[in-house]
Amino acid sequence: MELLSTTFLAILFILVRTQQGFTKTKSRSSPDSILRQKNYPLLWRIVREGGHRGLAECQQQFKNEIWNCSLGDKNVHKQLPIFVKTTLPFATRETAFLHAISAAAITHELILQCRQNRIPGCKCGKTRKQPTGNSGWQWGGCSDDIKFGEKETRRFIDKLEKGNDARTAFNLHNNEVGRKVVRASLTKECKCHGVTGSCNLKTCWKQLAPFNVVGSELKQKYRAAVRVSFLNNKLHKRDNNRDRLVTRKHKKLVYLDSSPDYCVRNATVGSPGMLGRTCRSDVVPTKECKSLCNSCQLRHKTVEHYKQVKCRCKFVWCCTVKCDLCTVKYSLTTCTK
Ligand SMILES: *[C@@H]1O[C@H](CO)[C@@H](O)[C@H](O)[C@H]1NC(C)=O
Ligand SMILES: *[C@@H]1O[C@H](CO)[C@@H](O)[C@H](O)[C@H]1NC(C)=O
């Protein structure tokens, strides 16, 4: 009898424990996962928007370069390179840059939309301990949630990379470099409180730099990219005639294939070539446009054009702005044979 009741009690105990275990894990993960499920379509939309912003920033950064971030195919604008490996078949320095800037833009966009309260349940990021002593300021306000942006970018983008091949390792490494640059762009912003002019109390929060700052930082990394090889399922770089492992701590962009000659048309690599490339003086100085053609052994032709822009704008009470139309001159340089 006693044995039976002990066994019964033991089973009951196990049942209760298991039950507790279930409810515990459930209640811990549930609000978060429900939120993620609910937000899934919204987050995907933001991820795509971020991808397009990355591409736009790439074109901005490379507008006066031979490779101008053109991807050859018009389709690519729908099928952003970060989503499909086949759109950029070679693992060049340029592909590396596109991966990094896309991952960076997606991270940046997610954080921005979180700050603007567009993502339900997304809150302010954590800041470290309050500064000690009489430092004259304290953490306050809403810091950008870098962790959220990084986590979601990994979930949506890095998860697309399956397998254990060179290209997967290359993509993942460069995505991570993109996110690191966004993280490094966080700076402390402060606001003064107290009677006008006095700054008795200062509160500070962490805020991301505008995306073009991230873009130019990544462009520097593009220039400093290092060539690597894939050995024993890992990326390695050549250093003083020795192979060294490229770890996640490595902050440089890496590439596997050398770049093709972007001066010439080559459909395989999506290069339209420089013949017929146009360049506007209101975007890039004419001198630079010309030397761009010259660097590909092409001649150039410059034609003047006119455009109408709004000017002499006046504020009319209340509440419109009236402008005149002015004609301004600009020149269009085309690379020719
Ligand atoms: C296009 O580029 C690829 C990769 O660099 C190269 O192997 C191929 O020969 C090029 N094709 C032409 C027509 O230049
Ligand atoms: C890049 O250059 C090609 C021609 O070389 C041109 O067709 C394309 O529109 C340019 N892209 C951008 C974004 O300026």
| Ordered DSSP codes for 96-135 | HHHHHHHHHHHHHHHHHHHHTT-STT--PBP--SPPPSS-
Cβ-Cβ contacts under 8 Å for 279 (sequence gap 6 or more): 64, 288, 289, 292, 332, 333, 334
Specify the range with the lowest mean pLDDT, choosing from 127-131, 216-220, 313-317, 332-336: 127-131
Q: How much distance in Å is there from the Cα of 273 to the middle of ligand 2?
A: 9
Task: Please count the CA atoms within 13 angstroms of the CA of 41 that sit on its side-chain side.
Answer: 1
Residue 259, ligand 1, Cβ within 6 A: no
Q: Which of 88, 266, 274, 296 to mutate to test the pocket of ligand 1 (most atoms within 8 A of CB)?
A: 266
Per-residue pLDDT, averaged over 95-115, amounts to: 95
Residue 260, ligand 1, Cβ within 6 A: yes
- The torsion defined by the Cα of 288, 294, 300 and 306, in degrees rounded to 10, comes to -10
Nearest to 233 by CA among 160, 166, 173: 166
**Which strands make up the sheet holding 242-245, listed edge to edge?**
242-245, 234-239, 226-231, 254-255
Hey, which of 18-22, 203-207, 221-225, 235-239 has the most confident mean pLDDT? 221-225
Residue 266, ligand 1, Cβ within 6 A: yes
Per-residue pLDDT, averaged over 119-139, amounts to: 78
Whole-structure pTM value: 0.83
Please answer whether residues 260 and 244 qualify as being in contact, where contact means their C-beta atoms are separated by less than 8 angstroms: no
d(CA 292, CA 274): 9
- The torsion defined by the Cα of 145, 150, 156 and 157, in degrees rounded to 10, comes to 150
Alpha helices (H) along the chain? 2-61, 93-115, 146-156, 166-184, 211-223, 286-294
What rounded mean pLDDT belongs to the chain? Answer: 85
Cβ-Cβ contacts under 8 Å for 274 (sequence gap 6 or more): 66, 262, 263, 264, 292, 293, 296, 298, 335
d(CA 301, CA 1): 104
Length of the chain, in residues: 337
Ligand 2: lining residues by beta carbon, under 6 Å: 59, 68, 70, 272, 274, 277
Please answer whether residues 302 and 290 qualify as being in contact, where contact means their C-beta atoms are separated by less than 8 angstroms: yes
- The torsion defined by the Cα of 204, 210, 216 and 218, in degrees rounded to 10, comes to 80
| φ, ψ at 301 (rounded to 5°) | -130, 130
DSSP H/E element including 226: strand 226-231
pLDDT reading at 82 higher than 60? yes
Q: Return the pLDDT at 137.
A: 84
- Compute how many other C-beta atoms are within 10 angstroms of the C-beta atom of residue 298: 18
Q: Return the pLDDT at 7.
A: 45
Please answer whether residues 81 and 140 qualify as being in contact, where contact means their C-beta atoms are separated by less than 8 angstroms: no
Q: How much distance in Å is there from the Cα of 272 to the middle of ligand 1?
A: 12
SS3 264: coil
Residue 10: alpha-carbon gap to chain centroid: 55
Minimum CA distance residue for ligand 2 atom 11: 70
pLDDT reading at 224 higher than 60? yes
264-305 residue pLDDT tens: 999 888 889 999 999 999 999 999 999 999 999 999 999 999
7-38 residue pLDDT tens: 444 443 443 333 333 333 333 445 567 667 78
Q: Return the pLDDT at 94.
A: 94
